[in-house]
């Protein structure tokens, strides 16, 4: 059997953590033959609840689980980590200004960046789920001087999956027939779900739907889906977020299928006019544990405006955390 892969999950006692850990332990992320060592990081006040999750994970008797440990010390939790899923974050509280939110999270993600730098495995792959995810990834990367910034990514796969599901529902086609949908920009309401390159059973998606549906229904529905789930379910979209985190990492490790891509927020290399270094969502292909931004796509005027608006928001978040001294 292959050597166990060490997977560190932060915010392990939270809702997403609860949905995520069992999927990882079952082999959904790394495959049915790869043993996993699960390191659960929590803040001290939630460590006991995380221990409770460990009891349940034990009781699943998952054959792939090679270790289960709870930590409240980031340096210990990330020691030897091959994969880090940074889920825990400070939610926006009542009366909290954006600067307060950015600074509370800056405190968390700078510490975690340094802890990763100290002890993570040389092949570490990091995915940030906790919001504001793109900027949290930027902060963590900037505090991990010896780890290439490209190993720090943020999750937009949930937005991608939501967009695929909406397009499938609209066209009556199975989700499996949809390829090359892309999420650009920030994991926020300003994101741009782009179907201009997408195909449905090989047919260009734009020939199957109206432009008015794209701009008035599809884009707002995908961007506001989190709020829709909260309104209908009475709780946030934890299970679908966990599923997307599994998919984000599964695809990064195992590769995207031929003829398709995924969406990931990654440090920009300047592609598509996105300022270098900003952690922004792009269509990416993955292979052999590496990813590459899909090159050479034609960007329509409509797409350009949408991408620029979301990137402007990322720039203002970066400016705010720079001013706070968090980078
Ligand atoms: P959740 O598990 O529901 O959410 C965790 C984070 O994921 C939040 O930042 C949330 O953002 C974000 N998120 C991203 N996409 C989605 C989505 N589609 N739906 C819902 N959330 C999404 O939060 P809980 O409050 O249940 O749990 C958080 C846990 O993290 C707590 O147990 C806390 O103790 C822990 N924590 C751990 C830290 C650490 O390990 N050092 C640091 C800080 C917290 P949003 O707020 O926008 O919903």
**Mutate which of 89, 143, 188 to test ligand 1's pocket (most atoms within 8 Å of Cβ)?**
89
Q: For ligand 1, say whether the CB of 193 is within 6 Å of any of its atoms.
A: no
Tally of domains within the chain: 2
Mean pLDDT in the chain? Answer: 97
The residue among 101, 133, 154 that closes a domain is: 154
CA distance 171 to 174: 9
Kindly state whether residues 263 and 241 are assigned to the same domain: yes
Kindly state whether residues 161 and 181 are assigned to the same domain: yes
Confidence of residue 96 (pLDDT cuts 50, 70, 90): confident
Q: For ligand 1, say whether the CB of 253 is within 6 Å of any of its atoms.
A: no
Average pLDDT over residues 51-66: 98
Confidence of residue 93 (pLDDT cuts 50, 70, 90): confident
pLDDT of 304: 98
> Is there a domain that residue 169 lies in?
yes
CA atoms within 13 A on the CB side of 166: 23
Q: For ligand 1, say whether the CB of 89 is within 6 Å of any of its atoms.
A: yes
92 annotated ligand binder:
yes
107 annotated ligand binder:
no
Kindly state whether residues 163 and 301 are assigned to the same domain: yes
pLDDT of 164: 98
Q: Is the pLDDT of residue 95 over 90?
A: no
Average pLDDT over residues 85-101: 88
99/221: higher pLDDT: 221
- How far, in Å, are 95, 101, 227, 229, 231 from residue 234 at the CA level? 22, 23, 10, 7, 6
> Would you state the structure tokens that stand for residue 319, as one six-digit string?
């400016």
Confidence of residue 244 (pLDDT cuts 50, 70, 90): very high
Domain that holds residue 136: 5-154
Give nearest CA residue, ligand 1 atom 47: 131
Residues taking part in catalysis: 187
Kindly state whether residues 32 and 113 are assigned to the same domain: yes
pLDDT of 92: 82
Confidence of residue 157 (pLDDT cuts 50, 70, 90): very high
Kindly state whether residues 189 and 62 are assigned to the same domain: no
Q: For ligand 1, say whether the CB of 87 is within 6 Å of any of its atoms.
A: yes
pLDDT of 44: 98
Q: For ligand 1, say whether the CB of 88 is within 6 Å of any of its atoms.
A: yes
Give nearest CA residue, ligand 1 atom 38: 88
Q: Which residues of 119-149 are buried (b: 16+ CB within 10 A; e: fewer)?
A: ebbeebbbbbbbbbbbbbbbbbbbbbeebeb
Kindly state whether residues 15 and 150 are assigned to the same domain: yes
Kindly state whether residues 222 and 99 are assigned to the same domain: no
Q: How many helices (H) and strands (E) does the chain have?
A: 11, 14
Q: Which atom of ligand 1 is nearest to the CA of 45?
A: 34
Confidence of residue 146 (pLDDT cuts 50, 70, 90): very high
pLDDT of 94: 84
Q: How many CB atoms lie within 10 A of CB 315?
A: 15
Instruction: Report which of 149, 131, 141, 110 is spatially closest to residue 291, judged by C-alpha positions.
Output: 149
Kindly state whether residues 169 and 310 are assigned to the same domain: yes
The residue among 122, 139, 154 that closes a domain is: 154
> Is there a domain that residue 127 lies in?
yes
CA of 88 to the centre of ligand 1 (A): 4
Q: What CATH number corresponds to the domain at position 233?
A: 3.90.110.10
If phi > 0 it is left, if psi is from -120 to 50 it is alpha, else beta; for residue 317 that is alpha
pLDDT of 245: 99
DSSP 42-71: --GGGHHHHHHHHHHHHHTT-TTEEEEEEE
CA of 305 to the centre of ligand 1 (A): 31
Q: What CATH number corresponds to the domain at position 47?
A: 3.40.50.720
CA of 236 to the centre of ligand 1 (A): 10
Q: Report CA torsion sign: 273, 187, 194, 281.
A: positive
- Express each pLDDT in 268-289 by its tens digit: 999 999 999 999 999 999 999 9
98 annotated ligand binder:
yes
- Express each pLDDT in 178-201 by its tens digit: 999 999 999 999 999 999 999 999
> Is there a domain that residue 324 lies in?
no
CA of 17 to the centre of ligand 1 (A): 8
- Express each pLDDT in 13-47 by its tens digit: 999 999 999 999 999 999 999 999 999 999 999 99
Average pLDDT over residues 117-133: 97
> Is there a domain that residue 29 lies in?
yes
Kindly state whether residues 14 and 86 are assigned to the same domain: yes
The residue among 127, 154, 181 that closes a domain is: 154
Q: Which atom of ligand 1 is nearest to the CA of 111?
A: 41
CA of 89 to the centre of ligand 1 (A): 5
């Amino acid at each position: 059997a292959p050597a166990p892969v060490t997977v560190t999950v932060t915010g392990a006692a939270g809702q997403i953590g609860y949905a995520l850990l069992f999927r990882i332990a079952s082999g959904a992320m790394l495959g049915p033959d790869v043993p996993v060592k699960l390191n659960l990081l929590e803040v001290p006040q939630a460590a006991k609840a995380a221990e409770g999750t460990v009891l349940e994970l034990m009781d699943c008797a998952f054959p792939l689980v090679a270790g289960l440990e709870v930590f409240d010390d980031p340096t210990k939790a990330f020691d030897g980590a091959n994969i880090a899923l940074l889920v825990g974050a400070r939610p926006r509280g009542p009366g909290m200004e954006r600067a307060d939110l950015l600074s509370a999270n800056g405190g968390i993600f700078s510490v975690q960046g340094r802890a990763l730098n100290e002890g993570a495995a040389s092949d570490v792959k990091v995915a940030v789920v906790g919001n504001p995810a793109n900027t949290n990834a930027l902060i963590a990367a900037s505090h991990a001087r010896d780890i290439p910034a490209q190993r720090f990514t943020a999750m937009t796969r949930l937005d991608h999956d939501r967009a695929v599901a909406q397009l499938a529902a609209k066209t009556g086609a199975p989700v499996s027939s949809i390829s090359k949908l892309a999420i650009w920009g920030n994991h926020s309401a300003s994101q741009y779900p782009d179907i201009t390159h997408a195909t449905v059973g090989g047919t260009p998606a734009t020939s199957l739907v109206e432009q008015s549906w794209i701009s008035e229904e599809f884009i707002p529905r995908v961007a506001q889906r989190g709020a829709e789930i909260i309104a209908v379910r009475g709780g946030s979209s934890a299970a679908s977020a966990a599923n997307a985190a599994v998919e984000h990492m599964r695809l990064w490790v195992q590769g995207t299928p031929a003829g398709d891509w995924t969406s990931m927020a990654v440090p920009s290399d300047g592609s598509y006019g996105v300022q270098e270094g900003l952690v922004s969502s792009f269509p990416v292909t993955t292979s052999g544990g590496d990813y590459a931004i899909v090159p050479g796509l034609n960007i329509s005027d409509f797409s350009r405006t949408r991408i620029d608006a979301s990137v402007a928001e990322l720039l203002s978040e970066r400016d705010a955390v720079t001013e706070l001294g968090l980078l």
